[in-house]
Amino acid sequence: MKAGAAAFKGVLILLLGLSIVTNVAIKISSGASPSSTLMLIFGAIALGANLLCLSLLSGFRKQDVNMASTFECSRNDVISNVGVLAAAGAVFATSSPWPDILVGSAMAVIVLRSAVRVLADAIPQLRTKRA
């Protein structure tokens, strides 16, 4: 059932990536700048929490497909947090929504890439278990 759980997780990651793409599209159409202060505060808190999780998971990432996908999600969270902090600084400096939009677009690519990777690992395992 581990491969089934990983496949489910892959689908959830895919849905997250698609929701980020939708969010970016909404930001492009609205043109409103986000609050750089809130981005900095919550980005820093999230980065600290995600770095702790990533360090706890690092020793288990090769254990099985579920742990590999969990590590990948945590790594993506750390990358996203760093992107949010960079975007917050750029939004503050430029008073433009575009740094946030660009970072959101990069996050979408990273998350969608992870979804493909997790599903690519899980689906063959599901097929061999059914055969």
Give me the average pLDDT of each 10-residue run along the chain (131 residues).
Answer: 79 94 94 90 96 93 83 88 95 94 93 90 80 59
Do the beta carbons of residue 77 and residue 20 sit within 8 Å? no
Q: How far is residue 77 from each of residues 11, 28, 103, measured CA to CA in Å?
A: 17, 23, 13
Distance (Å, whole) CA 77 – CA 55: 13
Structure token digits, residue 24: 């970016």
Do the beta carbons of residue 78 and residue 114 sit within 8 Å? no
Number of Cβ within 10 Å of residue 91's Cβ equals 23
What radius of gyration, in Å, describes the C-alpha atoms of the chain?
17
Hey, where are the domains in the chain?
Answer: 2-130
